[in-house]
């Protein structure tokens, strides 16, 4: 049906100025357009970025070596600030992963068509973000070679993990989350691997993608099961994503520390996770769609919608900050009140105010449709939001710890080069993995996009332009 | 498995393929299949496929997982080696909820994933339909209707003629062990 897209220009809808899909290509053209980047050998820019990322991975290796060789004493942590950078980054990375699941699973259940073009980006991001997150608790153990003690196995010592501890819940939550995300991601990839196999031009590609596609041949008998299993996994991933960040927040909320011991934490953390995750999706997708030439598939509509979600979740986070401060004073507890005042005026006040600026003020830009229409503006705002959300976790953790109940044990925290290197190293690990994914995987779900295209074309009154499909220029 | 024969016809659009399936069905052809780059709405009804049983597998997986998760925690902390932590009872049901839930989700997802491959009899390295020249387009932009049957019983001439009459732009016949 290639010529069906040659339709008269639709009247612009003031509420939805951009189409979901504006590609002039029919199915074969879509394959060619979306797989071109995978077929080509890597260019100079790719090698440059990959080399940079790999050098950061080298830094990570050094920092891990130092940590394992000399222990967590090489970090800035001490008593009372026994948790700092590593846990901040653990929460930050996990949160980033959540937007991926939200886009791929929650938006699928809500029949949001715009999710189709960006879901593989987001899911891929989730996987790598959870890998980065998973490193930190293990590095932080002090005796990382005993990490397997968290797993309930019949040990000769006859003891078991203590299942009433949120730290053990965390182990189950994060490993389940990683497994389910991986299964969901791979299940969606199989038909696209088959498509890549069948349009591959080199024999090694045909072979590798042939094996990865598990012999998928697109039979109606198979699609029926695939659709059902895919939808069910989406349904399972949706409550999972909420539970995982709630459990992460319970690492704090179950402790009796002022600033941590609060029932608001689970919803507050989940909203923050979605907020920061969407910011990172925007940070990655805006340059990627430009360099890969995917503007017709990842359109202004996607960026517009992502900006709106950041605006909404930004307000939820703002509400949580307000509520947290109110409850501190309302409790009448001197320790709680001291914490709230100290957070805004004490040693880490700068971090707190920058956090408030990035997370509460910056997203207000998205009220303007001009800002939502400008990829560069969204990109800059998304970077600030990433910074703000990192600082949020940092202030939550450090300000609650560094002023202990006894003033004699007060001590400020500052990171060492090992802390910083671990953080930069995971950033490098993440970007190296992401660059590999861009090069070797169908990063836009082709089969889902073709289905969407037919849906958009067929679900329309006769003679009218289908909603969401742009006319051919 | 025994050798089977397949007559394949390539159609350019999902609508043409659906129409052709309807006619073939009316003409009395059985053992039809459609290979397409994306799931075609309405093909399941035309092919008379029963609803997928994967939801049942997922339900069983989830219930088993949740039960297993709870019993595991109870066995470890309340039965085999009772631990008193924070004054909570050994069988601290509220504290066992998160892991019960997570393990339930984990097993349900595993059931969905492995159930899918069990139901589709994948992974496999080969299938006779791949031998049809041009079949690569089935994952790109074409819709292939396949009429299958035992090599002695399948009337290939008739099948080829029917597919061509319905507008198939390409008709191929292959034989092999599926």
Of B12, B52, B103, the CB nearest to A172: B103
Mean pLDDT of chain A, nearest integer: 87
Domain-ending residue, one of B76, B103, B120: B120
- Please report which confidence band the pLDDT of residue A444 belongs to, taking 50, 70 and 90 as the band edges: confident
Query: Residue A104 pLDDT > 50, yes or no?
Result: yes
Q: Name the minimum distance, in Å, from the CA of A203 to any CA of chain B.
A: 14
Contact A212/B142 with Cβ under 8 angstroms?
Answer: no
Q: Which two tokens stand for residue A316?
A: 């939820």
* Residue pairs between chains A and B whose CB atoms are closer than 8 Å: 198
| A317 domain residue, yes or no | yes
Looking at the structure, do residues B66 and B23 belong to the same domain, yes or no?
Answer: no
Q: Is the peptide bond preceding residue B123 cis, with omega within 30 degrees of 0?
A: yes
Q: Are B102 and A152 inside 8 Å of each other by CB? A: no
Domain extent for B172: 4-51+126-176
Q: Are A232 and B136 inside 8 Å of each other by CB? A: no
pLDDT attached to residue A408? 92
Could you say which residues of chain B have pLDDT below 50?
A: none
pLDDT attached to residue A188? 92
Q: Are A217 and B35 inside 8 Å of each other by CB? A: yes
Best of B19, B83, B105 to substitute, by most chain A Cβ atoms within 10 angstroms, is B105
Looking at the structure, do residues B61 and B98 belong to the same domain, yes or no?
Answer: yes
| A322 domain residue, yes or no | yes
Of A163, A195, A224, the CB nearest to B37: A195
Query: Residue A464 pLDDT > 60, yes or no?
Result: no
For the stretch A8-58, pLDDT in tens is 445 455 556 567 776 666 777 777 777 877 878 888 989 999 999 999 999
Contact B66/B120 with Cβ under 8 angstroms?
Answer: no
**Count of positions (residues) in chain A:** 473
Please return the burial class of A23, using the count of CB atoms within 10 Å of its CB with bins 0-12, 13-18 and 19+: buried
Residue of B nearest to A155 (CA): B76
Written as one string, the DSSP assignment of A405-437 is SSGGG-------HHHHHHHHHHHHHHHHHHHHH
For the stretch A88-103, pLDDT in tens is 999 999 998 888 888 8
Indicate the number of domains in chain B. 2
Residue of B nearest to A238 (CA): B105
Q: Average of pLDDT values for A148-168? A: 88
| A26 domain residue, yes or no | yes
Domain-ending residue, one of B120, B148, B164: B120
How far CA A160 is from CA of A168, A254, A270, B50, in Å, comes to 11, 21, 30, 46
Looking at the structure, do residues B60 and B74 belong to the same domain, yes or no?
Answer: yes
Q: Are B127 and A215 inside 8 Å of each other by CB? A: yes
| A23 domain residue, yes or no | yes
**Residue A399 to residue A394: CA distance in whole angstroms:** 8
**Residue B71 to residue B58: CA distance in whole angstroms:** 20
Nearest to A378 by CA among A292, A284, A272, A470: A284
Residues in chain B closer than 8 A to A454 (CB atoms): 14, 38
Looking at the structure, do residues B130 and B42 belong to the same domain, yes or no?
Answer: yes
Indicate the number of domains in chain A. 1
Residues in chain A closer than 8 A to B96 (CB atoms): 163-164
For the stretch A348-378, pLDDT in tens is 999 999 999 999 999 999 999 999 999 999 9
Best of B43, B101, B109 to substitute, by most chain A Cβ atoms within 10 angstroms, is B109
Q: Name the minimum distance, in Å, from the CA of A4 to any CA of chain B.
A: 12
Q: Name the minimum distance, in Å, from the CA of A250 to any CA of chain B.
A: 11
- Interface TM-score (ipTM) > 0.85: yes
Bridge partners for B33 per DSSP:
B146
Q: Are B138 and A217 inside 8 Å of each other by CB? A: yes
Looking at the structure, do residues B70 and B13 belong to the same domain, yes or no?
Answer: no
Q: Are A31 and B140 inside 8 Å of each other by CB? A: yes
Exposed e or buried b per residue across B39-78, where buried means at least 16 C-beta atoms within 10 angstroms of its C-beta: bbeebbebbeeeebebbebbeebbeebbeebbebbbebbb
Looking at the structure, do residues B41 and B8 belong to the same domain, yes or no?
Answer: yes
Contact A452/A20 with Cβ under 8 angstroms?
Answer: yes
For the stretch A210-261, pLDDT in tens is 999 999 998 999 999 999 999 999 999 989 999 999 999 999 998 888 889 9
| A288 domain residue, yes or no | yes
A325: domain CATH number is 1.20.1630.10
**Residue A353 to residue A387: CA distance in whole angstroms:** 12
For the stretch A110-139, pLDDT in tens is 878 788 888 888 899 999 999 999 999 999
CB interface of B with A, residues 102-131, below 8 Å: 102-103, 105-106, 108-110, 112-113, 115-117, 119-120, 122-127, 129-130
Domain extent for A127: 2-41+77-151+161-183+238-414+443-458
**Residue A51 to residue A436: CA distance in whole angstroms:** 12
| A438 domain residue, yes or no | no
Domain-ending residue, one of B98, B120, B142: B120
Residues in chain B closer than 8 A to A168 (CB atoms): 99
- Sorted by sequence, the CB contacts under 8 Å of residue A345 that are 6+ apart come out as none
How many other C-beta atoms can be found within 10 angstroms of the C-beta atom of residue B133?
9
pLDDT attached to residue A463? 42
- Please report which confidence band the pLDDT of residue A5 belongs to, taking 50, 70 and 90 as the band edges: very low
A265-291 and A220-253 helices, crossing angle to 10°: 130
Q: Average of pLDDT values for A80-87? A: 91
Task: Say if B100 is an interface residue toward chain A (CB within 8 Å).
Answer: no
Widest CA span in chain B? 81
Dihedral (CA of A306, A24, A105, A439) sign: negative
For the stretch A313-342, pLDDT in tens is 999 999 999 999 999 999 999 999 999 999
| A172 domain residue, yes or no | yes
| A65 domain residue, yes or no | no
């Amino acid at each position: 049906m290639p010529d069906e897209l040659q339709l008269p220009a639709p009247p612009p809808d003031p509420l939805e100025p951009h189409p979901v899909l504006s590609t002039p290509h029919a199915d074969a053209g879509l394959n060619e357009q979306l797989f071109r980047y995978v077929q080509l050998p890597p260019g100079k820019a790719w090698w440059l970025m990959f080399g940079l990322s790999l050098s950061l991975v080298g830094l990570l290796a050094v920092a891990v070596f130092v940590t394992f060789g000399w222990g967590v004493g090489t970090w800035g942590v001490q008593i009372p600030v026994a948790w700092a950078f590593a846990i901040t980054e653990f929460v930050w990375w996990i949160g980033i992963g959540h937007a991926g699941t939200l886009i791929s699973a929650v938006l699928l259940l809500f029949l949001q068509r715009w999710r189709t073009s960006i879901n593989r980006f987001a899911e891929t991001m989730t996987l790598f973000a959870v890998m980065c997150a998973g490193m930190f608790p293990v590095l932080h153990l002090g005796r990382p070679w005993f990490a397997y003690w968290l797993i309930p196995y019949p040990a000769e010592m006859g003891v078991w993990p203590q299942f009433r501890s949120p730290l053990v819940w965390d182990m189950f939550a994060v490993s389940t989350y990683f497994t389910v995300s991986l299964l969901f991601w791979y299940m969606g990839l199989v038909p696209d691997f088959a498509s890549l196999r069948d349009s591959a031009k080199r024999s090694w590609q045909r072979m590798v993608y042939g094996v990865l596609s598990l012999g998928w041949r697109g039979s109606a008998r198979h699609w029926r099961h695939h659709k059902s299993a895919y939808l069910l996994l989406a349904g399972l991933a949706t409550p999972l994503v909420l539970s995982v960040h709630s459990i992460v927040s319970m690492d704090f909320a179950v402790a009796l520390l002022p600033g941590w011991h609060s029932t608001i934490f689970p919803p507050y953390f989940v909203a923050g996770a979605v907020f920061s995750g969407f910011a990172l999706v925007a940070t990655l997708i805006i340059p990627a769609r430009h360099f890969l030439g995917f503007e017709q598939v990842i359109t202004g509509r996607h960026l517009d919608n992502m900006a709106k979600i950041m605006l909404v979740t930004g307000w939820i986070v703002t509400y949580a900050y307000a509520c947290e401060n109110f409850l501190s004073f309302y409790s009448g507890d001197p320790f709680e009140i001291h914490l709230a005042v100290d957070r805004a005026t004490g040693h880490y006040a700068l971090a707190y105010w920058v956090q408030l600026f990035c997370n509460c003020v910056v997203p207000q830009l998205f009220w303007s449709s001009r800002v939502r229409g400008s990829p560069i503006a969204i990109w800059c705002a998304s970077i600030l939001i990433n910074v703000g959300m990192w600082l949020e976790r940092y202030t939550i953790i450090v300000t609650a710890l560094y002023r202990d109940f006894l003033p004699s044990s007060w001590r400020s925290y500052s990171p060492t080069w090992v802390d910083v290197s671990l953080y930069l190293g995971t950033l490098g690990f993440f970007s190296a993995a992401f660059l590999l994914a861009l090069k070797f995987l169908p990063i836009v779900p082709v089969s889902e996009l073709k289905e969407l295209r037919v849906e958009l074309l067929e679900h329309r009154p006769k003679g009218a332009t289908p909603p969401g499909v742009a006319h051919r220029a | 498995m025994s050798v089977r024969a397949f007559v394949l016809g390539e159609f350019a659009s999902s609508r043409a393929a659906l129409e052709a399936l309807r006619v073939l069905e009316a003409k009395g052809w059985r053992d039809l299949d459609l290979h397409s780059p994306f799931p075609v709405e309405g093909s399941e009804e035309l092919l008379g496929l029963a609803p997928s049983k994967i939801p049942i597998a997922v339900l069983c997986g989830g219930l088993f997982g949740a039960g297993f998760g709870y019993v595991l925690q109870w066995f470890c902390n309340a039965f085999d080696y009772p631990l008193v932590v924070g004054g909570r009872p050994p069988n601290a049901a509220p504290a066992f909820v998160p892991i019960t839930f997570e393990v339930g989700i984990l097993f349900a997802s595993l059931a969905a994933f492995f159930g899918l491959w069990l139901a589709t009899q994948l992974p496999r390295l080969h299938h006779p339909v791949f031998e049809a020249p041009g079949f690569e387009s089935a994952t790109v932009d074409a819709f292939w209707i396949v009429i299958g049957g035992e090599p002695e019983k399948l009337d290939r001439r008739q099948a080829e003629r029917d597919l061509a009459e319905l507008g198939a732009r390409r008709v191929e016949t292959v034989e092999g062990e599926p």
